[in-house]
Structure 1
Amino acid sequence: MKRSKSFPKEEIFGITSQIRRSSTSILLNIAEGTACKSKREFFRFLNIALCSQYETVAILKLCDRLGFLEKENSGKLLTNAEELGKLLHGLINSLKTNN
């Protein structure tokens, strides 16, 4: 996440590391889930991705409150992260309906 490069140096192993891990986890869990042989396994990985998305949103809100992000950037990042959550919810609900 390029935006985290502007965070204070003392946060390099704190918030910076955590937001990079949580946002990367979303992608990696979706990717891993697509390789699963069953819908149930795929569903489990999507739920893990959704949990990571919630974590990412929480960290972004914290960073915004702490002033680590410019208002313009924080708004865009939060909007994108929340939109991703809606998409994940939609996919999960679709899988539930089709079971």
Structure 2
Amino acid sequence: MRDYKKYEVWKKAHELNMFIYLTLLPKFPKSEQFDLMSQTKRASYSLPLNIVEGCGRNTEVDFARFLDQALGSAHELEYCCLMCRDLSYVDEQLYQQTNTIINEVKAMLIGLIKTLRK
């Protein structure tokens, strides 16, 4: 079994999740509490959770599959943030800041997945 806390990609995904919770979600209007806010939360915490769950698996194939799921969550989160910007819940600067972190996590996930599948 792997120690998820030793993976830089998990650290970055956790940082992203905290950023979403502490910086982005408070900008949402109350009317989005059960819709876009809820979906954004799920995509955000699903990312590090899938890395953690994958670390608990015994094979590289299983680990890579959970990393694929984390990558899917990163794409979902990316779109949620785009919607937030386009709905004017967040300004362009916060959107760009968030998108930069998401892209960093995506790149790290892709790199680790490629390494595992060699």
- Structure-1-length-normalised TM-score: 0.93
Match of 2:3 in 1: none
Could you tell me which of 70, 73, 87 is aligned with 2:91? 70
Match of 1:23 in 2: 44
Using the alignment, how far apart are the partners of 1:53 and 1:6 within structure 2?
20
Unaligned regions of 5+ residues in structure 1, if any? none
Using the alignment, how far apart are the partners of 2:104 and 2:87 within structure 1?
23
Structure 1's consecutive aligned runs of 4 or more residues displaced over 4 angstroms after TM superposition are none
- Per-residue deviation, 1:60: 0.6
Using the alignment, how far apart are the partners of 2:69 and 2:31 within structure 1?
29
RMSD (Å), alpha carbons:
0.8
| 2:50 maps to 1:47 | no
Using the alignment, how far apart are the partners of 2:35 and 2:103 within structure 1?
22
Could you tell me which of 16, 21, 35 is aligned with 1:14? 35
1:44-96 superposed Cα distances (whole Å, 9 cap, x missing partner): 10011010000000111111111111222111001100111111011101111
Aligned residues: 97
- Secondary structure of the residue aligned to 1:91 is helix
What amino acid maps onto 2:38 in structure 1? S
- Secondary structure of the residue aligned to 2:115 is helix
Using the alignment, how far apart are the partners of 2:90 and 2:104 within structure 1?
19
Q: Which has the higher contact order (CA 8 A, sep 6+)?
A: 2
What amino acid maps onto 1:79 in structure 2? T
Using the alignment, how far apart are the partners of 1:73 and 1:47 within structure 2?
26
